[in-house]
Each structure stands twice: as C-alpha cells, then as structure tokens.
Amino acid sequence: MHDPRQLLDPETDAAAKLRRRGYVLDTDRLSKLMSRRSEVIGEGDQARAQSKKSAAEVQAAARAGDDITELREQARRLKVRIGELEEEQRAVEAELNEFLLAIPNIPLDELPDGATEEYAEEVRQWGSVPEFDFEPLDHVDLGERAGFLDLQRATKLSGPRFAVFKGPGAKLERALAAFFLDVHIAQGYTEFSLPALVTRQTMTGTGQLPKFEEDLFRTAVADRELFLIPTAEVPLVNLHAGEILNLGDLPLRYTAHTPCFRSEAGSYGRDTRGLIRQHEFSKVELVQLVDAESSRDALEEILVHAEEVLQKLGLAYRVIKLPAGDIGFSAQITYDIEVWLPSQQTYREISSASDTGVFQTRRAGIRGKAKDGKRGAVAALNASGLPVGRTLVALVEQYQQADGAIRIPDALVPYTGFAVINADGSTS
C-alpha cells in the first residue's frame, strides 16, 4: 500500500507513472480525503484538550462549592462531540484505506511503454529450440496416448480445467517438485510447508485483495472465511506480517511447494486445452525479503535462481522484461521466463520474477530496523520456481520422440527412477 503523501508529492510524479500502467490516479479525491482526515484529527485533538480543561473546571468549581450544572453539561457535550469526531475519523480513514488498497504499484522508469507482451523487451534466450523430423504432438495427445494424463476423468470429478495424473505421470509430477526444491535449497532458500487456506488479511497483505477477489476460491465454515491461496507467495511473505525485521538478518530466502487455486475469471476460451491454465495446480515458489535499497539487485538474483531449474532440465526458454502496462498489480518491475512449446511453435510464460519494492511489505506491516535502531524499509520479491504443470508440459513436448515416447532429462532421472516414458505408458 502506498504512502498517500508520496502519491501527492509532485517530485514523485506518481500520477504520470501510474498512467503508464493504465491507472488514472484520482488526486482530487485523495487530496480531499487527506485534508478531511487532517481536519478531523485536528478537531478531535482540540475537543480532547477542551474536555480536559472542562473536567478541571468542574473539579475546581465543585471544590469551591459553586453550581456545576452548566459546566457538567458542557463537559458532556464535549464528550459526545469527541465520540462523533472519532467515528468520523474512523470512517474517513476506512475510505482512505479502501482507496489506497486499490492503487497498483508504481512501475519503474526502466520499463518499456505498452500494455501487452508485444511491447516487452527480450533480455536473453537460452538453449536450442528443438527441431523434429516429424510433426510434434502437444502434451495432451502425448499424455493421453501413453495413459498418464486423464482430463476426461478429471472433468467428471471436478469439472473443466482440472487434471488427473496416473502412474509415470504422477511420479513425474512429484519428481519435478522434489527436484525444484532441492535446487533452491542448494541456492540458499529455506523450505516451508504452509497452509493452503489463509485469511482475508493475509490475502490483502500481498495485494490479491481487494483487487482480485473474483479470481479467488473462498470457503466459509462456521462463519469463518478463508481463501485458497493462488500462490505460495501469499503465505510466505505474510509469515512476517506485522513484524519488525533486523536489516542485518536480511536477505531472507524462502521456498515452498504448495497447491495453487485460481478461478481464472474472464479467461474462458483461452488455453482451454490441457494443462496451461488450470483451476488447481502445484507450484514451487521463491520469495525474498531484502533491504529495500538492494531489491533491484535481488531481482536479478531470484531470476537467475528460477532460470537454473530450466537450465538443469535442458529446456529452451527466453527472458523478457514486461512493459509498464503488463506487470502485475503488486509489481514495480517484472521479468517473465517463457519456455518453448513445440506444439505451439512459440514461447509461453512459465515463470514471473517480480520486485514489489515496499508495496507488499507496507500492506503487510513488515518493517525494518538497523543495528543502530534507525528505521529501514524491507522489500519483497517473488518468482515461480517453477509451476509443476507447465514445466511438465514443456518437458513432455520438448523431449518427445518420433514413436511417442518421452525422454526424461538426466538431472531428473534420480527423482523419477526411469529415463523414458514409452508410448504405451511403460517406463524404462
């Protein structure tokens, strides 16, 4: 969440920067809310001072034996007025808070202009795009033919956009998650096992609420509202909600493998075939909490950490820097990692690495303190490291053979226990 004073400071040029991402900041409304809050606070302070003075006058008059009827009535009216002003202050602050929570993060100046991926800047490519002397199949045809992917039964169980993995498919899914975690632990991340259900406050801390409520799955049991997480970023960042972190202990590097749940509201008709866009999927997430002054360097590091997984698997990919109008609500800069899909003859997003600056930490109440006691700012970063389903898609498609078999990358064989999924579903 933003500091409203900075949003109104001409030197920050926040309104112009937010326009780059398609958001129009209502500075008039913000100014009026800030002014009204200041006025109400001032009136309240004045009324409390008068009430204190009035109480002293009542006591003095009572000791002197004077009639205190009028003085008591004056004191009563002041107390009523104080209550009214406190209620008005709460109302104004609630309106201001609601207004601020809906404002996205301010994009960094280095981002290109534009609102879609076509305006993104390509940073680098890695690996060789596979070439086949046969017509490559997509992951659905390969998985269903070998019998390790069953979308029809998943639809019977839960409706569209769910998947059932069987035999070597289930083993491959589990192996990928274990492999990802081992890579990231070696990079210096601490693994967590986390709840998949979190509170509204937790969702608000990382920016999923109130903006994206329609994209979330929610449950309520015995009047207790909880949300299914769309990413482990949510609980990982909020582990330290409301805390003051010692800047000398930073960076904190966290990782977790969790299920993720997204309603994909408004996306029907897009990627309806296969595993690209599912309501439920599993993902290994990377989160860093760092001194805000070093967040830009930390983004380059977390990006490389996510890339290392793809490199160890030998999957061709590219990195792009998203334009200002295409970054996520909480991000101030985002790199996308896009993996090559032979069936589509294009790169598709498999990971986003974002620096949110102090946007999420302010919302979650995460503060920093140096050894000398001075206040400091903490920044939060996140990256997918990686989604299991989309990685499986890329692996199956890039490593498919002419006979329909799928070769397993060498780095993954110790986790699967097999080197090939044959076209008939057997392994070897």
* Annotated binding residues for L-serine: 231-233, 262, 285, 382, 384
- Binding site, annotated residues for ATP: 262-264, 349-352
CB atoms within 10 A of CB 159: 9
- Could you list the active site residues? 262, 277, 349, 352, 390
* Helices and strands counted in the chain (H then E): 13, 18
- Binding site, annotated residues: 231-233, 262-264, 285, 349-352, 382, 384
Q: By C-alpha distance, which of 65, 137, 14 is closest to 405?
A: 137
Q: By C-alpha distance, which of 141, 165, 182, 193 is closest to 423?
A: 141
C-alpha dist (Å) from residue 27 to 22, 23, 89, 160:
15, 12, 20, 43
CB atoms within 10 A of CB 91: 12
Contacts (Cβ under 8 Å, ≥6 apart) of 69: none
SS3 35: helix
Q: Alpha carbon 409 to chain centroid distance?
A: 30
Q: Which two tokens stand for residue 206?
A: 């990382």
